[in-house]
């Protein structure tokens, strides 16, 4: 019950309006010894995200033959894990999300893979067809015009980007998910502890 009361209190506090001023700051790659990854616009992220599985399926074949694709693929997968595997709400759509910059990073790597695979001599029909499909969607949706603070951020495979953890307090959807997950874990641990140490009742003679 104590855990539940704390959780309800926290959610009540979340109903108080918070400042809309973004706490984000641009973080240039500390280590530029890897592959440079061009930035992509906020609008382009959603288009690339819709085709991510197709890009990775093709990249997994090409990676056997091309070292740059291998590094970009590894970087994208690492970044996706750092973004908690896309489980946080609005991590792509909302610029204020603490996961938005690291989402930019793995999707920028996905687009870089797509661009490179188009120009490689492996599975050209499939890679060019996929590139064209993504490109057409971007043009039709005018995605290059939708920008955010991270649209000008270049990345590097030698410098993985983590979430802005200090921004969780200001991003209500992410904070609610964290509180609910923490409360659920604590409740399960409490229940498990009680069941483990509960004394068996003595049967009447």
Tens digits of residue pLDDT in 70-93: 999 999 999 999 988 888 877 888
CA angle 93/94/98 to nearest 5° reads: 120
Q: Are 114 and 138 in contact (CB under 8 A)?
A: no
Alpha carbon distance 187, 4 (integer Å) = 8
pLDDT tens for 43-65 read 899 999 999 999 999 999 999 99
Strand (E) or helix (H) holding 4:
helix 2-14
DSSP 75: H
pLDDT confidence of residue 2 = 43
Which residue's entry shows tokens 């009540």?
A: 12
């Amino acid at each position: 019950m104590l855990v539940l009361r704390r959780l309800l209190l926290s959610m009540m506090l979340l109903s108080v309006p918070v400042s809309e001023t973004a706490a984000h700051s641009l973080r240039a790659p500390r280590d530029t010894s890897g592959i440079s990854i061009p930035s992509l616009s906020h609008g382009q992220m959603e288009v690339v995200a819709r085709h991510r599985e197709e890009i990775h399926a093709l990249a997994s074949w090409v990676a056997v033959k091309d070292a740059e694709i291998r590094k970009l693929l590894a970087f994208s997968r690492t970044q996706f894990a750092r973004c908690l595997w896309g489980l946080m709400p609005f991590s792509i759509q909302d610029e204020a999300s603490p996961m938005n910059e690291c989402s930019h990073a793995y999707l920028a790597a996905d687009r870089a893979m797509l661009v490179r695979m188009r120009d490689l001599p492996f599975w050209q029909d499939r890679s060019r067809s996929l590139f064209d499909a993504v490109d057409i969607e971007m043009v039709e949706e005018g995605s290059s015009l939708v920008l955010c603070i991270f649209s000008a951020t270049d990345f590097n495979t030698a410098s993985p980007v983590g979430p802005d953890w200090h921004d969780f307090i200001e991003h209500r959807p992410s904070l609610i998910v964290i509180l609910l997950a923490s409360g659920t874990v604590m409740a399960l641990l409490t229940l498990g502890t009680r069941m483990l140490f509960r004394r068996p009742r003595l049967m009447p003679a």
